[in-house]
């Protein structure tokens, strides 16, 4: 998330002051990405330094100080909106690495490793889905953020499913042991907790 460009976008609607920018940023991103007011001011100072915004000279420093977009800022925003993010090289995906490492380890059932991750991802998806259950209270920006997260998690699960199937087929004629219930973790890991 580029705070810099998000602030330019908000200022493209008209002059605003810092506190207002923070509130609008949070509500436009479905309040999924909290932003502290310090980040807003630091970013505004840099934008001003780069000539992309100008501050209202007459106002004192602080929450009531207003900012507006310059032509350079408008051009920068227009260019940023149309520049695709860099997806050209695959990220070092930790999930992919874990499955690949599990493949080579003696005594490790890669299908069990896959299932542990699949279950965790489905649990996360259940939580995100709950957030959009009440359609009447669903803010459109928030719904888009939730959808994006669900599709991202879904794509990981699809990869796990594909890996599971591919490995099963590759094992081919070898007599596979009957699947047993996989052990459940003793405590559910906190969302976003350390690995």
Q: Is 184 in the site for another protein (CB under 8 A)?
A: yes
Tokens coding 63: 């929450």
- Subset of 72-131 contacting another protein (CB under 8 A): 111, 115, 118-119, 121-131
Q: How far is the CB of 188 from another protein (least distance, A)?
A: 5
- Subset of 7-46 contacting another protein (CB under 8 A): 31-36
Q: How far is the CB of 72 from another protein (least distance, A)?
A: 25
Nearer to another protein, 64 or 127 (CB): 127
E runs forming strands in 98-169: none
Q: How far is the CB of 129 from another protein (least distance, A)?
A: 4
Nearer to another protein, 74 or 150 (CB): 150
Q: Specify whether the CB–CB gap between 144 and 30 falls below 8 A.
A: yes
Tokens coding 141: 């920006």
E runs forming strands in the chain: 16-17, 53-55, 66-69
How many other CB atoms are there within 10 angstroms of residue 82's CB atom?
7
Q: How far is the CB of 45 from another protein (least distance, A)?
A: 19
Nearer to another protein, 54 or 109 (CB): 109
Between vectors from CA 142 to CA 191 and to CA 11, what angle results, nearest 5°?
Answer: 120
**CA distances from residue 157 to 117, 150, 151, 153, 181 in whole angstroms, order as listed:** 8, 10, 10, 6, 19
Nearer to another protein, 62 or 165 (CB): 165
DSSP for 1-33, written as a single string: --HHHHHHHHHTTS-EEHHHHHHHHHHHTTT-S
Q: How far is the CB of 17 from another protein (least distance, A)?
A: 22
Out of 57, 60, 61, 133, the residue judged to bind another protein by CB under 8 A? 133
* Site residues, another protein (CB under 8 A): 1, 31-36, 111, 115, 118-119, 121-131, 133, 135, 150-151, 153-154, 157-158, 161, 164-165, 178-182, 184, 188, 190-193
């Amino acid at each position: 998330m580029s705070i810099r460009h998000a602030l330019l976008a908000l200022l493209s609607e008209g002059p605003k002051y810092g506190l207002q920018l923070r509130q609008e940023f949070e509500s436009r991103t479905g309040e999924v990405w909290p932003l502290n007011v310090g980040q807003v001011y630091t970013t505004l100072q840099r934008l001003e330094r780069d000539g992309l915004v100008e501050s209202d000279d007459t106002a004192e420093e602080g929450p009531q100080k207003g900012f507006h977009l310059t032509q350079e800022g408008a051009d920068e925003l227009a260019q940023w909106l149309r520049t695709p993010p860099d997806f050209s090289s695959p990220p070092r995906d930790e999930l992919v690495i874990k499955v690949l490492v599990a493949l080579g380890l003696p005594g490790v059932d890669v299908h069990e490793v896959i299932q542990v991750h699949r279950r965790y991802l489905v649990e996360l998806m259940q939580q995100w889905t709950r957030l959009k259950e009440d359609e009447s209270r669903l803010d459109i920006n928030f719904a888009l953020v939730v959808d994006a997260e669900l599709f991202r998690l879904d794509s990981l699960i699809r990869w796990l499913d594909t890996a599971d199937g591919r490995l099963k087929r590759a094992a081919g004629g070898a007599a596979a042991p009957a699947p047993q219930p996989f052990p459940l973790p003793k405590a559910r890991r906190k969302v976003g907790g350390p690995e």
